[in-house]
Amino acid sequence: DVKVTQSSRYLVKRTGEKVFLECVQDMDHENMFWYRQDPGLGLRLIYFSYDVKMKEKGDIPEGYSVSREKKERFSLILESASTNQTSMYLCASSLIRPQETQYFGPGTRLLVL
């Protein structure tokens, strides 16, 4: 079974703080993704990575950065958290190509005060 884990289920941060969200997958998948999920908007892609140290912007990369130093780990960084970044953040991975079945983690619900 593919397992995608996220470091926190819930986080509360203050405006201006630097926030790290961690994601780990245990199936040697090439591709990893970060989405945010908001009611009525579905999932929107923030960044994805198709290889170690490689990254590509998604639809809404502003205010975010990512890091992939190891194949199994993909981090999302909010450099200076803002209230409009309050959301559910989902990490996903896929085996070889981005358009294949994606496997999702449980999500991190982030509240920025």
Partner 1 sequence: AQSVSQHNHHVILSEAASLELGCNYSYGGTVNLFWYVQYPGQHLQLLLKYFSGDPLVKGIKGFEAEFIKSKFSFNLRKPSVQWSDTAEYFCAVSYNNNDMRFGAGTRLTVKP
CB of 60 to partner 1, least distance (A): 12
Is 42 an interacting residue with respect to partner 1 (CB under 8 A)?
A: yes
Task: Give yes or no for residue 16 binding partner 1 (CB under 8 A).
Answer: no
Q: Which of 58, 63, 71, 72 binds partner 1 (CB under 8 A)?
A: 58
3-state SS, the chain, equals CCCEEECCCEEEECCCCCEEEEEEECCCCCEEEEEEEECCCEEEEEEEECCCCCCEECCCCCCEEEEEEECCEEEEEECCCCHHHCEEEEEEEECCCCCCCCEECCCEEEEEC
- In the complex, the residues that contact partner 1 under the rule CB under 8 A are 4, 35, 40-45, 48, 58, 90, 92, 97-102, 104-107
